[in-house]
Chains A and B, each alone.
Chain A
Amino acid sequence: MKRLLSVLLLFITVIFSGCDSSHKIETAAIIENVSVKREHGQLYYTFYKLSSEEKPQKTSIPASSFEEACKLAGEKYIPHLSLAKLRLLLVHRDLKDSVMQRDISYISTQTYFSPVAYVALCDSEALRKTGESPKLLSTVEEELRLCRKNNPSVRLDYLSIFNSLQRDNGNGVEIAYLNSENELKADTEKIFRKMF
């Protein structure tokens, strides 16, 4: 009887442990792709939800930074937001120095982002194309891998980009660039460290 009581007590304690199941599989809004672009002077972060549907489920959030976008998304736009499965951050090439480096710097302080997710620059047309069909995402990933294979100096994930920028010696860091004029084939683009 004593044993039973102590086990029951332990179970009750564990129930109140605060282990959060709000991200459970059936309710979680799992984001697999985020793109960043500027329209009419305003930054828009578009969150693409993981789904099997043909039409991508996306939510565009106007925000000044990725940090703010994540906060707004979680609070207002996307309940049960989960960014742990984020695979790709697509940034418009015009934002590579200002926005991208700041966002990568923010991501590097947060545990819940996978540090090995890809980051790529792209042009407006490429952003539009990838936003239209979620299936393009795997093609993009394949392209990025190929780009890395052909050119080992290209940085693909947060971790390598962040670390390379941290020790930038003036030569800059080469990262992948998806060019719509070249059928979304990945080129390389050089970025230089920008101090914040």
Chain B
Amino acid sequence: MEDTLSKIKLSLNEMFSHSADLTIKDIILKSNNNLSGAVITIEGMCSKDELAQSVLNPLMMYDFGAQSSDEAVETILSSVSGSCDMVKFNSTQELIAFITSGFAVIVLNGCENMIAAGVQGYSYRSVSEPESEVVQRGAREGFTEPLRVNMSLIRRRMKNPDLVFEQLTVGTESKTQVMICYLKHCASPSLIKKVKKRLGECQLPTVFASGYLSEYLEDKSTSRLFSGAGISERPDTVCGKLTEGRIAVIIDGTPAVIIIPRLFVEEFQGVDDYSNRSYYATLIRLIKYLSFFFAVFAPALYVALAQFHPEYIPTRILIKTSESLAETPLPVTFEVLLITFVYEIMKEAGLRIPKSLGHAVSIVGGLVVGESAVNAGIISASTLMVVATAAICSYVTSTLYPPVTILRVVLIITAGIAGLWGTVLATAVTVISMCSKTSLGVPYMSSLSPFSLRSMRDVFVRASWKKLGAHTIRVQKFSETEEN
């Protein structure tokens, strides 16, 4: 009999360089011809109890009689296996993939085939409410790190055979499992093909977060200011998007699921909009649009008015503003830029600092930098108020925070140089850039431009569920590059 077991052990030890967590447990089965083998695992990746109960105990107890090793493999698959899943395979590559994913692999001496037993049992964070997408009314479940758990969270909500999960591996070093998820009858085949192609083109050594892949999924040579790939940690959001023909990309090891294509109007749609009454949801929606507008334009308009067109400011406000600005040493453009940057610094510090020190930063930021600077006459109260309000407004649509911040700074500079005219020209260029952006061939500004009257029931307003439910608008409808 060929000593296949020793060869596998040798090659594994070589490949893993005798790594301490590689566990190879030799076993001798109850049989007439002394069948021997081994159970290979990676320590900490599988459940010891599950391994004992579902694999080792039944294996050791079963009497294989006069079976050869090949016959024994078939017997294990058909009769010995306990509650866990068992898969037969025969390559070393698959062996590595299985053990690094938490499977226990049974190898019998003299047999080419091996068996992977699903006894994964590594510790992971339990399913909990995602902090970045808190809702008032709705499910409290959010994605977690293991891929399979996330898949189950989606499957539990979509009891539909059309729901497809397709597995890919990305990352030349990390070999991260990525799952493409879509509804067969909703998603466009060309979009699915594009996603697979783009993920296949990814040659990153490691993929540890959704941000690694989202750039690969976005269309090339379009504006990168806004993201064409959405992120969600909520299974209900992902399921909703799947019914609109979108594709979800779940990455092992991260709770953030990528949803593509992403449209601009989606940034203003929240989960709560669909749980609240439609009139209230509409009000919130309009507030979100206004906040976005205010977050981007308010500081720039303030600079333009103060610097070039004070006559447009209402008289009472003009008197107060001019007097407070006259007392400060810096020109208004620099003042606004300074406060914007100080705010960004404080925000970053607040995010990174240990929670116990968070209050200290708030006090320093609020009292020292804010109030004291105004009292000392370094910055004016009106400037502080405008910048602070714009900063708060930018959190109303938190997913748009990065582009809003960049746009705000650019517009402040253009307003400081060329007033309202500069702001208008910069806005025109930005709108052109946004209009030219596509996400998997679907125009990013779809619903608004190209305009779709039917979509309007879920853009600036949220129509009642009777109207929304009557007809689902698929995202590929907006694509100009393929048949609708």
Contact = CB atoms under 8 A, between A and B. Distances in A.
Nearest to B421: A19
A19 B418 CA distance: 6
A30 interface: yes
B320 A52 contact: yes
A24 B315 contact: no
Contacts of A26: 306, 322, 325-326, 328, 332
A21 B419 contact: yes
Contact of B417 (A15, A25, A85, A87): A15
Contacts of B413: 11
B425 to A, nearest CB: 9
Contact of A23 (B308, B325, B331): B308
A50 B320 CA distance: 11
B422 A51 contact: no
The main secondary structure of chain A at its interface with chain B is loop
A114 B312 CA distance: 11
Interface string B395-427: 000000000000000000110011101100000
A176 to B, nearest CB: 20
A19 B321 CA distance: 22
Contacts of B322: 25-26, 28, 30, 50
Interface residues of B, number: 27
B325 A25 contact: yes
B335 to A, nearest CB: 10
B310 A23 contact: yes
A82 B315 contact: no
Interface in A77-102: 82, 84-85, 87
A114 B320 CA distance: 22
Nearest to A24: B307
A195 B306 CA distance: 41
B482 interface: no
B131 interface: no
A11 B417 contact: yes
A52 B323 contact: yes
Nearest to A112: B311
Given A14-B414, A25-B318, A50-B318, A30 B323 contact: no
Nearest to A137: B315
Interface string A12-24: 0011010111011
A87 B417 CA distance: 29
Contacts of A21: 307-308, 419
A146 B407 CA distance: 47
A50 B313 CA distance: 12
A114 B315 CA distance: 14
Interface in B221-271: none
B326 A50 contact: no
Interface of A: 11, 14-15, 17, 19-21, 23-28, 30, 32, 50-52, 82, 84-85, 87, 114
Interface of B: 305-311, 313, 315, 318-323, 325-326, 328, 331-332, 413-414, 417-419, 421-422
Given A26-B322, A51-B319, A82-B311, 8 more contacts: A14-B417, A17-B417, A17-B418, A24-B307, A25-B305, A30-B322, A32-B315, A114-B311
18 contacts: A19-B417, A23-B308, A23-B309, A23-B310, A24-B306, A24-B310, A24-B331, A26-B326, A26-B332, A28-B310, A30-B310, A30-B311, A30-B318, A51-B319, A52-B319, A82-B310, A85-B310, A85-B315
